Amino acid sequence: MLHRADFDRVYSTGRRVGSPLFTAFVLPNNSGASRVGFTTPRALGKSVVRNRIRRRLREVVRLQQADLAPGWDVVLNPRRNLLDAPRVRIEEEVRRLFATLAAQ
């Protein structure tokens, strides 16, 4: 997802799914594809820190993309402890989120 209107729509009408490493906002869409967007608030730190968090999360989502059921818009809002979390832990949380979406 790239457009602000898409992010706003997911935030306003979507459902919030909590995790220790991130907060996910999910909304079913009417297309056959799923889209994932990332937001990193300034409260997480300076741009170097925010970009590192975003890169780590983006890579895990890229590797798990095949497990994401079609027809979802997902916005991931990471928390500060994602920066220090081992990659395996991030993968577990993303896999759990995608499994939850696939079950619905």
Q: Is the pLDDT at 104 greater than 90, yes or no?
A: no
Q: Work out the pLDDT band at 85, boundaries 50, 70, 90.
A: very high
**Please, are residues 24 and 34 in contact by the beta-carbon 8 Å criterion?**
no
Integer angstrom CA distances of residue 53 from 6, 36, 57, 73, 101: 22, 15, 6, 20, 23
**Please, are residues 26 and 34 in contact by the beta-carbon 8 Å criterion?**
no
pLDDT in tens, 20-75: 999 999 999 988 899 999 999 999 999 999 999 999 999 999 999 999 999 999 99
**Please, are residues 84 and 52 in contact by the beta-carbon 8 Å criterion?**
no
Q: Is the pLDDT at 92 greater than 90, yes or no?
A: yes
Number of domains in the chain: 1
Residue 73: strand, helix, or coil: strand
Q: Which CATH number does the domain housing residue 15 bear?
A: 3.30.230.10
Q: What is the mean pLDDT of residues 5-14?
A: 95
The conformation of residue 15, written as its DSSP 8-state character, comes to E
Residue 68's domain spans which residues? 4-102
Residue 75: strand, helix, or coil: strand
Integer angstrom CA distances of residue 29 from 57, 62, 83: 22, 20, 30
Cα 94 from Cα 21, distance rounded (Å):
9
CB atoms closer than 10 angstroms to residue 15: 11
